[in-house]
Amino acid sequence: MKRGNTIFFKKPPRVRSYAAICGSKEREGVIGGYADITLADDMYGESTYEKAECKMLSGAIRLAVEKGALTDGDIDVLFSGDLLNQIISASFAARDFQFPFLGLYSACSTMSESILLAAAMIDGGFARNCVAATGSHFASAERQYRYPLELGCTRPPQSQWTVTGAGACVISGEGGGIQVVNATLGRVRDWGISDVNNMGAAMAPAAADTIMRHFKDTNTLPEDYDMIVTGDLGALGSRILKDLTWEKGYDIAPNHVDCGEIIYKVIEDEFQGGSGAGCSAVVMNSYVFTKMNAGLYKRVLFAATGALLSTVSSGQGESIPCISHAVEFVSV
């Protein structure tokens, strides 16, 4: 069923199992304590950052499948993507498995896009179990999007720190105490921000658009949710989001949490907090789902945001088009 831009699942699929792997900086924070594996060395025994990123993603998928008491033969589709050019982390991770793979690109909103498509495939009757997964690595993202780390460039205060980590969950027709009840599909929003160091400001309008359409389509209010989680707006982007929604009559401040704001212990080098596809992937697939399973949060709206730029588009003077896909979870 569909109302506005929100799709409602007839028999809500479940988050059957989930897993997260995160890096050394991430292990120092609160979230790190909820991850399945935390790395002492972000190279993860590999020779390149990209291979380390792929290994984390593949490992998170493997763990999620195992924690769901499933084997590869039980998985019908893997929905995955990442930040690297041609989503090589996801494609090479998919090579490790025998199940089908549908590649996605939605930048840092990949976690919500993959979950919503997995849930739609299951509720549509086309699959029994799907894996939704994504990840990122600070060092591979820095050198692809910004500068070689060896240059030691100064980071501006509005910048964020790309999370080293990966998360995966198995979405199933049965099993697990968390339902995926509906999803609000994102539209591309572009308010003309062209500062590639200020992703929070660029993405906040997309988050506001999707979250407010979600309230409208589902006939709910912010206070109906125990938590409204955004992916990686960071501290500045979160403030903008709260202002934008408040202006339209929605006060999300009391129960808004941004994964980028909570993933690191100390905001120092990270300035506005964490970012990257791995940011919400790690937080959702460790802390949030664990707290939901424990009954601490019953109803959670998860709206991850993605900045759909490339170094080429920015170099050609384009602003940053952004998107946000939202998924609503209810623990039962």
- Show the site string, 115-134: x = touches its own copies by CB under 8 A, - = not: --x--xx-xxxxxx------
| 102 lines the binding site for its own copies (CB under 8 A) | yes
* Closer residue to its own copies (CB): 9 or 297: 9
**Burial of 187 from C-beta contacts in 10 A (0-12 / 13-18 / 19+):** middle
Residue environment code for 13-29, b if the CB has 16+ CB neighbours within 10 A, otherwise e: bbbbbbbbbbbebbbeb
Segment lying near its own copies (by CB under 8 A), choices 217-225, 226-234, 242-250, 318-326: 318-326
- Show the site string, 172-201: x = touches its own copies by CB under 8 A, - = not: -------------xxxx-x-----------
Torsion sign over Cα 266, 267, 273, 276 = negative
Residue from the set 24, 66, 85, 156 that interacts with its own copies by CB under 8 A = 85
| 169 lines the binding site for its own copies (CB under 8 A) | no
CB of 28 to its own copies, least distance (A): 29
Q: 3-class DSSP state for residue 305?
A: strand
CB atoms within 10 A of CB 277: 40
Distances, alpha carbon 64 to alpha carbons 171, 174, 242, 259, 283, in Å: 10, 15, 33, 20, 15
Cβ atoms of residues 131 and 176 within 8 Å: no
CB atoms within 10 A of CB 125: 10
Residue from the set 37, 67, 74, 99 that interacts with its own copies by CB under 8 A = 99
**Interacting residues toward its own copies by CB under 8 A:** 1-2, 5, 7, 10, 47-48, 50-51, 76-77, 81, 83-88, 91-92, 94-95, 97-107, 113, 117, 120-121, 123-128, 144, 185-188, 190, 306, 308-313, 316, 318, 321, 323, 325
